[in-house]
Amino acid sequence: MIEKRIAEIKRLADADRLDEASAAVQAFVAEFPGQAEAWRYRAYVLALRGQHRDAVKDMTSAIGLNSREPHYYWTRGKYLLDLGDNEAAIKDLTETLRLCDEHSSDYYREAAHLLRAEAYLRLGRPEEARRDCESVSDNATIWAGSIRSKEAILADCK
């Protein structure tokens, strides 16, 4: 049941039918307020609509329901970076990395390091940005308002 609802929300969002996706995800959250994934998907639709502050609030709700999921911290960190709240983004991306260690999972590790490097760079902290880039493959890229590569971040550290 939940998986079907998520699939429908993703289908609508991917088809750029955001009004319908919003209505579907609102109903999903109303029916399953104790499910972290409901909040995660509402945050996703909100972010697609450019409502990053509300998306951060929903990711905070998801984290409140499941504080051990690195994806939730990574996603909130990304939304915070989009809002320009670089310090808060660094905290969430650092927690993502801690949880990657806790779960012995590298799934979000490279993306978290690259986004955190971008946040450090935006704060004028190039040494910390360089250190994060050491943990990233040479061809790594990420969306941070624009396509950002390890190479570009390192060039901006000079």
Tell me which CATH code domain 68-158 carries: 1.25.40.10
Given a cut of 90, whether residue 15 has pLDDT beyond it is yes
CA angle 73, 49, 31 (to 5 degrees): 70
Please check whether the two domains, 1-66 and 68-158, share a CATH topology. yes
The CATH architecture one would assign to domain 1-66 is Alpha Horseshoe (1.25)
* Residue closest to 112 by CA, chosen among 62, 61, 72, 157: 72
Contact 112, 89 (CB under 8 A): no
pLDDT digits (tens, 9 = 90+) for 38-66: 999 999 999 999 999 999 999 999 999 99
Average pLDDT, rounded, for the chain: 97
- What is the spatial distance between Cα 62 and Cα 81, in angstroms, rounded to a whole number? 18
Q: What percent of the chain has pLDDT over 70?
A: 100
- Other CB atoms within 10 A of residue 81 CB: 24
Q: Which residue has the tokens 């990395």?
A: 97
- Binned at pLDDT 50, 70 and 90, residue 1 comes out as confident
In one-letter notation, the amino acid at residue 68 is R
pLDDT digits (tens, 9 = 90+) for 119-133: 999 999 999 999 999
Annotated domain spans of the chain: 1-66, 68-158
Average pLDDT over residues 69-90: 98
